Copies of this chain bind each other. A is one copy, B any other.
């Protein structure tokens, strides 16, 4: 069954069927109605390949993520899928696992399938590779940072807002000795989080201690290793902020292994607010970054370029907010708890 079948049954030419399907306004409404009836009755739908071949638009949006197994990404993918499909696009998701070889393979796949745009949500760029896309004028959208050029948008995440809230929350509880477990070196979003932490610390009048800036890689294992290292330090902080939730969960686990308690012995703050952060033990205080907002902004930006009217040519600003979600992994610094009940009792 093809467009000709419909044309024959509706007694019109294939051109008219095509126009009807594509909602060209000049089609006589009566004829259009007749065409639609035949289409519905036969449950016909156009062949996407043929359509893409002739029109040059595939109606496919690519999405490149770093690791699909980090719970942050499936939540993002879900949103991206929902919004893209809502606007008639199909999505092509691919994960790089931080491997440049995979990244290059990803890009090739996107090119081969002639995607109408690509959202690069790896939180870090492999600039030279992405040039292949830019050169072929594929609209791109990045997080945080990316090359500038026509058809390229960057989503700005305000890391500072949420992280400052976190640091202030800790400071308000009485913490002065706060460590930070970083994300991968060179990953822009990770650097930004660290910067935001450092700035916020100083805002609170606290001088950062270099020994308490631990390296990590945004994985469970990285978080465990960082905490293990911290445990070896002569003087321990009373709180630790992590560059993402997976890291924080690793920290929680190492604390548990060491027989220490959170937040009694150490307060912990994560970043992302992935779903399971609600049920960690204890539930994780973390900075929320909306996956839905990110996905929505990404699709919107890509559509603006792909469906490009003149007005959309003028670049929009896309800003993503972050906010602290207080749960139970943060509390008074070690020692303060002992004092507090006394004071409370004294008042009685």
Interface residues of A (CB under 8 A from B): 45-50, 52-53, 58, 68-69, 71, 73-75, 77-78, 81, 85, 90, 92-95, 105, 108-109, 111-114, 220, 224, 249-250, 252-253, 256, 275-276, 278-282
Contacts and interface: CB of A to CB of B under 8 A. Distances in A.
A254 to B, nearest CB: 9
A280 B90 CA distance: 36
A162 to B, nearest CB: 22
A213 B284 CA distance: 31
A250 B281 CA distance: 11
A275 B220 contact: yes
Given A53-B50, A114-B49, A281-B253, A109 B85 contact: yes
A250 B276 contact: no
Given A113-B48, A252-B281, A275-B69, A93 B93 contact: yes
Contacts of A250: 279
B73 A69 contact: no
A95 B279 CA distance: 24
A74 B78 contact: no
Given A85-B109, A276-B276, A279-B250, A114 B48 contact: yes
Given A45-B111, A85-B105, A220-B275, 18 more contacts: A45-B112, A47-B53, A49-B58, A50-B53, A69-B74, A71-B71, A73-B74, A81-B94, A81-B95, A90-B92, A92-B92, A220-B276, A249-B276, A249-B279, A252-B281, A253-B281, A256-B282, A281-B281
